Structure 1
Amino acid sequence: MAQAHLKIDLEALAANWRALDKLSADTVETGAVVKADGYGLGVARVARALADAGARQFYVAQAEEGVSLRDALGEGPEIFVFSGHMAGDSDMLRDARLIPLLNSIEQMTRHFETLPGHAFGVQIDSGMNRLGLEPAEWAAARGIVIPQGPRMVMSHLACADEPDDAMNARQLAAFREMTQGLDTTLSLSATGGILLGADYHFDATRPGIGLYGGLPFADAQPVAYLNAPVIQIRDVAAGETVGYGAAWLADQAARVATVQAGYADGLIRAMGDNAVVFADDTPCPLAGRVSMDMLTVDVTHLDTAPDTLQLLGAQQGIDDLADAAGTIGYEILTSLGARYRREYS
């Protein structure tokens, strides 16, 4: 079989949720961010596993994602939409019982006029300058909005993956000032904010990447295991080159394995020969450029020819592979392609 194999460990996913949940007080509601099709791993299976673990609040980027999530979860869990109430969203928000996190005066006007009485939340800008009402806007709107009973008032940290960054404390102070005296659910922290400690937890947290095995949650269990089949192994003489652009030169006789996976499968071309894959516990460096459907790997040092090589797993997580490509684990995870044979366990 030429198809690479992606195994998603749902038990590890649930264990990561429980571990992050334990980092905050029992009074804090720990949700789960499942946008981008459950960070590329399949939102239906991922969300149901998280719901079974205890998650009751879920977060998506846009209303269309929320509709699919509601189909997977059924009644009960709350589903929040980060992009708020966009034009054309009213029917989806109503029919799928989604909670938009309103980001602007325009969105508030749209929501209150088209869906009066429908649940909503509010996002305020504590300094990231991406989404949410700025302090002056919030000060003007607060007296009108709060009596209508928002389900949540939230903001988002820009530098939570860097615990010593002074931006964290500035945003915490701004969020406290903007929410002083409110009697509603407050939320500031995703994975990184949870790890900053209790001052950042408020009433609800929104872990995302840490659920899926990524930094900054260094204690996370790996969730994605990616193994790709070896198509062919060839002997390469000293002085010969491998792959497009003749980018890899054998300085001595070598054995090179051609592996069925490439950038069409989400393995970012930029990682080139900076990356390694694994034969059991033994690292094997890439030899040359990542192509659309194939990798070439130096397996000269192996005693036996491998049938498969592992790109993600216990030996190498998403952030390790990301480092080789000069990117972040989020991009590796959400780029995993549709050609993999997927297995959930």
Structure 2
Amino acid sequence: MIDADEMPELPDPFDIAPVRLTVDLSALAENWRDMAKRSGSARTAAVVKADAYGLGLEDCGTTLYEAGARDFFVAVVQEGVTLRAYAPDARIFVLSGIWPGQERMFFENDLVPVIASEEQLAFWMGVIAELGDYPCALQVDTGFNRLGLPLQDALALAEDVSRPASFSPVLVLSHLHSGDAPSAPSNKAQLESFRQVSAAFEGIESSLSASAGIFLGPDYHFDLTRPGIALYGGEAVGGMKPLRPVATAAARIVQIREAAAGGTVSYGATYQLARPSRLAIASVGYADGYLRSLSGSGVPLRAGGTAGGYGYVAGHRVPVVGRVTMDLTIFDVTDVPEGAVNAGDYVELFGPNIPVDDVARAAGTIGYEMLTGLGLRHERRYLEAE
């Protein structure tokens, strides 16, 4: 039996992890400051829903709070409860609103429900009638047809002199459905509708713009902006260079293998090698959020002959070949000089050399899904903000 005292010390888990994620908190803080500057006279919130877009609510929330954010948006009440510990005196808005049984969670953690439907409004009126004045926000639908009171109902509510005095919204908000397409006529149509809302609720702060809307200019900023994807280094507007990259995902290469011309690769034998090749087998797959649609062949999105995903190793972009599997993905490293890449090295999946949105496009999706879909097996390292 091996003596435990003779065993080598345990290495840093990050150094030996099959898949790992590096989160640059300095870049996150700088991106928030950048969006705050672009927001002009409007205050700038931070959207941290979905575990801060997959990058970690605790660390990202703390960093954004320390950078100066004092308004936060989460999707569900449980996220707000978690965030409260890291943003002690911030306003935390819960976008999905409030449901029966959640009152205590809201009140004890000082969370602000975003009332998003007629049913929630009726429930909320009952809550404040029983428990007294408590702040809320009111979402108005200006054309998205997702959440929010219909425009005319919201305007009627603003003029309703019989509404309870304890109904005291601190914010009215709406959401642009095509903010990432600056020339879309609907942006101006939604802006004009929201201006009616803002005027009707005079004296109450207004918010229309998420990341993309901020780039549309001051007319869209109102009192509070709500950047999300731009903070995390994703594209807010199609074709516009994103801010600083925040997340880098990488996978360990398990094996480099030689394969003959004419051989096939991965499930279904859908990819045939046209030349003698060197293949790097990496410890990442769709269980880690590296989507199956990034396969080099053999999936519907690739049926038209379009290329799949790429990795980056030893200064080279290397294509995915064959199907991505649950735990493994195969990259063609034939064009990387021999000896420059070896088993145990790491291939970048996305990061400073391959933007997350480029990977997303190759998968037929968007950067939001790549980030929020990161699997549980990524060992994480946070580079602390200065």
- Shared fold (TM-score, shorter chain, > 0.5): yes
1:288-318: CA deviations, max 9, x gaps? 1110001000001111224111111111111
1:4-23 correspondence runs (5 A):
4-23=19-38
Structure-2 separation of matches of 1:61 and 1:106: 18
Structure-2 separation of matches of 1:281 and 1:138: 56
1:203-228: CA deviations, max 9, x gaps? 00000000000112624100001111
Structure-2 separation of matches of 1:55 and 1:280: 38
Match of 2:282 among 259, 266, 273: 259
Partner of 2:52: 38
C-alpha displacement at 1:98, in angstroms?
A: 0.5
Partner amino acid, structure 2, of 1:123: Q
Partner amino acid, structure 2, of 1:271: L
Compared CA separation, residues 160 and 146, structure 1 to 2 (3 A): farther
Partner of 1:69: 83
Partner of 1:189: 209
Rg larger for:
2
Partner secondary structure for residue 64 of structure 2 = helix
Partner amino acid, structure 2, of 1:42: G
- Measured on the aligned residues, the alpha-carbon RMSD in Å equals 1.4
1:138-217 correspondence runs (5 A):
138-144=154-160, 148-181=167-200, 182-216=202-236
Structure-2 separation of matches of 1:266 and 1:18: 29
Partner amino acid, structure 2, of 1:213: G
Corresponding position: 1:244 with 2:267: yes
Structure-1 separation of matches of 2:349 and 2:242: 20
Partner of 1:88: 101
**Deviation beyond 6 Å, 4+ runs, structure 1:** none
Structure-2 separation of matches of 1:131 and 1:146: 23
Contact 1:2 1:231 survives alignment (8 Å): no
TM-score by length of 2: 0.86
Structure-2 separation of matches of 1:135 and 1:4: 47
1:93-112: CA deviations, max 9, x gaps? 11111001101232122223
Partner amino acid, structure 1, of 2:352: A
Contact 2:38 2:214 survives alignment (8 Å): yes
1:246-272: CA deviations, max 9, x gaps? 121111100101000110000110111
Partner of 1:329: 367
Q: Is there any run of 5+ residues in structure 2 with no aligned partner, and where?
A: 1-15, 297-307
Q: Is there any run of 5+ residues in structure 1 with no aligned partner, and where?
A: none
Partner of 1:50: 64
Partner secondary structure for residue 215 of structure 1 = coil
Contact 2:314 2:336 survives alignment (8 Å): no
User: How many correspondences in the alignment?
Assistant: 343
Partner secondary structure for residue 282 of structure 2 = strand
C-alpha displacement at 1:280, in angstroms?
A: 3.6
Match of 2:92 among 79, 83, 86: 79
Percent of matched pairs sharing the same residue: 42
Partner of 2:112: 99
Partner secondary structure for residue 101 of structure 2 = coil
Partner amino acid, structure 2, of 1:7: T
